[in-house]
Amino acid sequence: MRKIQMVDLKGQYEFIRDTVDRSIAEVMDTTAFINGPQVHSFQKELEEYLGVKHVIPCANGTDALQIAMMGLGLEPGDEVITADFTFAATVEVIALLRLTPVLVDVDPVTFNIDPEAIRKAITPRTKAIVPVHLFGQCADMDAITDIAREHKLYVIEDNAQGIGAVYTFKDGRKVKTGAIGDIASTSFFPSKNLGCYGDGGAIFTNNDELAHTIRGIVNHGMYERYHHDVVGVNSRLDSIQAAVLRAKLPLLDTYNEKRKEAARKYNRAFEGVPGIQTPVQTGGEDSHVYHQYTLKIGGADRDGLVQYLNENDIPCGVYYPIPLHRQKAYLDERYREEDFEVTNALVKEVISLPMHTELDDEQIAYIAGKVKAYVDRES
């Protein structure tokens, strides 16, 4: 059996080596390392793939979130609601811009932001909601869009984990994640579903004016050379990363299909096993792209399982071990523990198993066998 990796970038590269190497070689030949033609081509190709009017590439997914919030003109003291159970980047940029993060609990089934909790957290200062399509599964965009419309709030989708997922609205409309809200961000960090070979990110919007504002913000607030109209940042996707992404974008659907197939195989292996809750996909076939395959372990000791898997050469991850509302940087006296019942339980129960495009049947069977053996023995 091949050695099991949490994410197998090497295995994936073997299959696309020729295209990727040729694509990178073109950049080397032209030496247009910044803002080369690859960046513009990738931008156009991603716009087409997502069905969104504007893609603005930038340096990473965290910048993308920050720039999105700057573009919307949010001001210090404005409240931005986001999930307690996610990667810290989301809350970090809110705080960095001196906006007020308002963390709320998540849904126990999907682990995505809970629309009822959003409603309860709205005040006259609330300006935006940031749903994260966590682990690759679409957040409840019907409910979130309704709430936003009702209270005149912006919706900023953090699509770092969900690229390629399709949300089906109650009226049957299908829209790719990242093309639903007022604006969205994504990350091309190597392990993401569409990853480059370094850092990268992008902002998406259908709003022409907002897109124009943002194109200036990513470039030092310049709309005309050496005229700085607003305070901006320097955030660029470099040409080599764009070249890698151009080679990989045509494969994204195939990659996501491979992830879904691996998830189905894991699901079958864990079917009916007491103490193991497999991921629950609440939307249609394409509503989850399995950035992570995350189990909820009841009964048995989750940390013991992590250790047992590691002893058996199975890497795994705990995303995320600490709720954001209990992180030192984001403590706020307004938070009450009883408002975070779901997140407080999840941080003790979740475990993410190896999930990538190169997992084979033998590896999945071995991983599932070890998980079951531990849970059987310990619960």
Ligand X SMILES: *Cc1c(COP(=O)(O)O)cnc(C)c1O
Kindly list the residues in this chain that would bind ligand X in the complex (CB under 6 A).
60-62, 86-87, 89-90, 132, 158, 160-161, 187, 189, 199, 201
Residue number with CB closer to ligand X (137 or 161): 161
Residue number with CB closer to ligand X (114 or 370): 114
Q: In the chain, where do the E strands start and end? A: 54-58, 79-83, 100-104, 126-130, 154-158, 166-168, 174-176, 183-187, 201-205, 222-224, 227-228, 276-277, 293-297, 350-353
Contacts of 223 by beta carbon, 8 Å cutoff, 6+ apart: 212, 216, 229
Q: Minimum CB separation from ligand X for residue 52, in Å?
A: 18
Residue number with CB closer to ligand X (187 or 256): 187
**Count of other CB atoms within 10 angstroms of residue 16:** 15
Q: Is the peptide bond before 154 cis (omega within 30 degrees of 0)?
A: no
Q: Minimum CB separation from ligand X for residue 270, in Å?
A: 24
Q: Minimum CB separation from ligand X for residue 42, in Å?
A: 16
Alpha-carbon Rg for the chain in angstroms: 21
Residue number with CB closer to ligand X (58 or 375): 58
Q: Minimum CB separation from ligand X for residue 132, in Å?
A: 5
d(CA 322, CA 318) in angstroms, rounded, equals: 10
Residue number with CB closer to ligand X (194 or 368): 194
Q: Is the Cβ–Cβ distance between 290 and 134 less than 8 Å?
A: no
Q: DSSP states of 275-321 as a string?
A: TEE-----S-TTSB--SSEEEEE-SS-HHHHHHHHHHTT---B-S-S
Q: Minimum CB separation from ligand X for residue 225, in Å?
A: 28
φ/ψ region of 81 (left if φ > 0, alpha if ψ in -120 to 50, else beta) reads beta
Residue number with CB closer to ligand X (199 or 238): 199
Q: Minimum CB separation from ligand X for residue 243, in Å?
A: 18
